[in-house]
Chains A and B, each alone.
Chain A
Amino acid sequence: MLTLDSVSVTRGGVPVLDDVSLALGRGQAVVLRGPNGSGKTTLLRTVAGLQPPAAGRIEGAERVAYAGHADGLKASLSAAENLRFWVSAFGTHDILPALAAFDLEALADRRAGEMSAGQKRRLGLARMLVTGRPVWVLDEPTVSLDTTSVGLFAKAVSDHLEKGGAALIATHIDLGLPDTRTLDVTPYRARPRAAAADEAFL
């Protein structure tokens, strides 16, 4: 579903990861680990197509649904309105399963601006369900979630995998998912060298 072939990524022109290869099939999940600043976010943004890889190839980027650190919610719209917008943007149909999966039914009419951080995060994650895309790319999805909500999230991911989806998740929490591989990005750290853009100047 998603294949990374010797991908190198740069952050602000400075190489952070080199030669990352990865194949993600149906029903599989890969958890990315690595210390802060090791390039997990940069790799995920590259996979999501927000920036081009410095080298290598990514296949299946068009199947990716991405959720970053920010939830992209509009404070003055209600939870349901926020989700409905993404439903029409991705051309899918229904927000109810997404609301149900993250226990948001009671909050459907509440404005996102009046929600707690954890509730907003749940709403942000519920967006993944309405995209209808098979490959979820999630960056630290469990930040500000309590134990119950982490359980909801883990269930949503495993349901998604069962339906033949795939997920690439950067997280430090053990989600207890079946068929999960862990990819530590530390060995792929780019050898210290100048920014790719600056190499011509050395």
Chain B
Amino acid sequence: MRALLLRDLALAVRAGGGFGLGLSFFLIVTVLVPFAVGPDTGTLAPIAPGVLWIGALLACLLSLDRILALDWEDGSLDLLATAPLPLEGIVTVKALAHWITTGLPLVAAAPALGVLLSLPGPGYLWLFVSLLLGTPALSVIGTFGAALVVGLKRGGLLMSLLVLPLYVPTLIFGAEVARRGAEGLDVQTPLLMLAGISTGSLALLPFAAAAVLRVNLR
């Protein structure tokens, strides 16, 4: 298991796409928003938490098809499935690797990008916390989506169609935590719901993803 995680991380670092691409995408989306809505602080500040959440979510989505498709193409998925590792464990590790290479950099970068969008002072902590809690759910749900379309050529667009509706609850509660935090309101309820969604997906979705992968492998 640990070896698989280390291998996936090494691959992500060496292929260059892992850390860099999602992060650059996040940066560009954030930079584009003021061009579209205007540079006025009064306009940017209220939408900053939502924009940052959308940006992080899309950056996450962008890299999902790398989770399983590469291993599928070069045959390692077959070999992994015959190795003495449970498939549920394999997909969990894959999701974890995706989170470390994509989700974690986004979480770290989000406060810096908050400055660009004039995020109000108390918002930084809650933006950070909400992304830290929410991005694991995005990775796990995304891994399930990637497992669904792994056997398909050009499955990327279909995967977006399948995964984005599943992202709705995470986005709502995550952005709500960030927004309330920025406005200095009580964040407890959405924070608990967000944590619940993350832990729930983490506990249950690997089983669904592994079942889907078994169907696709046969």
Interface residue ranges, A against B (CB under 8 Å) = 45, 48-52, 64-77, 81, 84-86, 88-91, 127, 131
Contacts and interface: CB of A to CB of B under 8 A. Distances in A.
Interface in B152-180: none
B112 to A, nearest CB: 29
Given A66-B79, A70-B74, A70-B78, A50 B218 contact: yes
Given A51-B217, A76-B15, A89 B83 contact: yes
A114 to B, nearest CB: 13
Contact of B75 (A49, A52, A71, A75): A71
Interface in B1-32: 2-4, 7, 10-11, 14-15
A74 B84 contact: no
A50 B3 contact: no
Nearest to A67: B79
Interface of B: 2-4, 7, 10-11, 14-15, 73-76, 78-85, 217-218
Nearest to A127: B79
A90 B83 contact: yes
Nearest to A87: B3
Contact of B82 (A52, A65, A76): A65
> What is the interface of chain B mostly: helix, strand, loop, or mixed?
helix
Nearest to B10: A77
Contact of A85 (B7, B15, B74, B81): B7
A49 B81 CA distance: 9
B217 A50 contact: yes
B14 A66 contact: no
Contact of B10 (A66, A68, A69, A81): A81
Contacts of A70: 73-76, 78
A127 B10 CA distance: 19
A48 B76 CA distance: 14
Contacts of B75: 68-72
Nearest to B73: A70
Contacts of B73: 70
A90 B212 CA distance: 24
B51 to A, nearest CB: 34
B15 A66 contact: no
Given A50-B217, A72-B75, A88-B3, A66 B11 contact: no
A94 to B, nearest CB: 15
A52 B83 contact: no
Given A72-B74, A76-B14, A64 B82 contact: yes
A65 B74 CA distance: 17
Contacts of A51: 217-218
B84 A77 contact: no
Contacts of B7: 74, 77, 81, 85
A109 to B, nearest CB: 14
B218 A52 contact: yes
B82 A73 contact: no
A89 B8 CA distance: 13
Given A71-B74, A127-B79, 10 more contacts: A45-B78, A50-B78, A50-B218, A67-B79, A70-B74, A70-B76, A72-B78, A88-B3, A89-B3, A90-B83
Contact of A72 (B11, B15, B76): B76
B47 to A, nearest CB: 40
Given A77-B11, A81-B10, A88 B2 contact: yes
Contacts of B79: 66-68, 72, 86, 127
A64 B84 CA distance: 10
B46 to A, nearest CB: 44
A90 B84 contact: yes
B4 A66 contact: no
9 contacts: A51-B217, A52-B218, A66-B78, A71-B75, A74-B74, A76-B11, A77-B7, A88-B2, A127-B79
